[in-house]
């Protein structure tokens, strides 16, 4: 028995026979049953096939705009809907710097990762100013024990944080990434995954994707914990 990393309650679960072979995975969960009930798991609901936005199995308006206006065709994956529980989690994790919370969804992310195989996995980094302010990179910490992460991008400071922008301002945010000088990968045929923590309009992660695409890489998919 262990304690929930989010609320401190005991985590206990009685396994049935069909779960015996998943023993290691089940016992590694950092979430109690109460906290798990606060989450909306997107793969179990009707969602946009391109970006996992909740609500319909048809391509959502956001993806239509990206395709028609910006000529961006992307396959994105996410596990949870962004709701009040997720909001409070990221507030504690990112704003208040509780870096131990990076492990809260580790088993759920690991379970998702076993469905796919990628040649290179990279992540959306913090800008230098945000890193210095927090003392850690929240996206890197979220995924470092699950994926072998390759640093590809450098992020410059934007005019203001994405969280302070409305939807139109987010969509119009200029390119804030550049390729790191030490990135030497030249195999343009490899399967690439870019990971981030939150997908709202997609502007941030699609900027990163388009930068790699402009370098000749074609097989790029994206993932975030929440959508």
Q: Is residue 74 part of a domain?
A: yes
In tens digits, the chain (227 residues) has pLDDT values of 789 999 999 987 666 555 555 555 554 789 999 999 999 999 999 999 999 999 989 999 999 999 998 899 999 999 999 999 999 999 999 999 999 999 999 999 999 999 999 999 999 999 999 999 999 999 999 999 999 999 999 998 876 677 778 888 888 889 999 999 999 888 999 999 999 999 999 999 999 999 999 999 999 999 999 99
Range of the domain at 216: 38-226
Number of residues in the chain = 227
CATH code of the domain in which 207 resides: 3.40.50
- For the segment 191-222, what is each residue's pLDDT rounded down to a tens digit? 999 999 999 999 999 999 999 999 999 999 99
Q: Is residue 160 part of a domain?
A: yes
- pTM given for the model: 0.91
- Residue 12: the pLDDT is 78
Instruction: Give me the number of domains the chain comprises.
Output: 1
Q: Is residue 2 part of a domain?
A: no
Q: Is residue 151 part of a domain?
A: yes
Q: Is residue 22 part of a domain?
A: no
3-state SS of the chain is CEECCCCCCEECCCCCHHHHHHHHHHHCCCCCHHHHCCCCEHHHCCECCCCCCECCCCCCHHHHHHHHHHCCCCCEEEEECCCHHHHHHHHHHHHCCCHHHHHCCHHHHHHHHCCCCCCEEEECCCCHHHHHHHCCCHHHHHHCCCCCECCCEEECCCCCCHHHCCHHHHHCCCCCEEECCCCCCCCCCCCEEEEEEECCCCHHHHHHHHHHHHCCCCCEEEEEEEC
Q: Is residue 8 part of a domain?
A: no
- Residue 50: the pLDDT is 97
Q: Is residue 19 part of a domain?
A: no
Q: Is residue 12 part of a domain?
A: no
How far is it, in rounded angstroms, from Cα 216 to Cα 219? 10
């Amino acid at each position: 028995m262990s304690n929930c990393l989010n609320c401190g309650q005991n985590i206990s679960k009685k396994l049935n026979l069909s779960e015996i072979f998943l023993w290691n995975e089940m016992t590694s969960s950092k979430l109690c049953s109460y906290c798990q009930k606060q989450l909306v798991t997107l793969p179990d609901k009707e969602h946009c096939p391109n970006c996992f936005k909740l609500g319909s199995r048809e391509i959502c308006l956001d993806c239509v705009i990206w395709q028609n206006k910006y000529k961006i065709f992307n396959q994105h994956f996410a596990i949870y809907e962004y709701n009040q529980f997720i909001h409070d989690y990221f507030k504690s994790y990112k704003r208040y710097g509780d870096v131990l919370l990076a492990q809260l969804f580790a088993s759920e992310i690991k379970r998702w990762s076993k469905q796919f195989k990628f040649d290179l996995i990279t992540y959306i980094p913090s800008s230098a100013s945000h890193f210095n302010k927090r003392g850690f990179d929240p996206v890197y910490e979220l995924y470092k024990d699950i994926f072998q992460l390759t640093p590809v991008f450098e992020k410059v400071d934007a005019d203001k944080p994405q969280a302070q922008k409305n939807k139109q301002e987010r969509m119009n945010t200029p390119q804030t990434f550049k390729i790191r000088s030490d990135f030497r990968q030249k195999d343009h045929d490899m399967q690439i995954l870019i990971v981030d923590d939150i997908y709202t309009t997609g502007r941030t992660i699609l900027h990163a994707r388009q930068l790699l695409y402009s370098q000749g890489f074609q097989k790029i998919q994206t993932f975030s914990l929440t959508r």
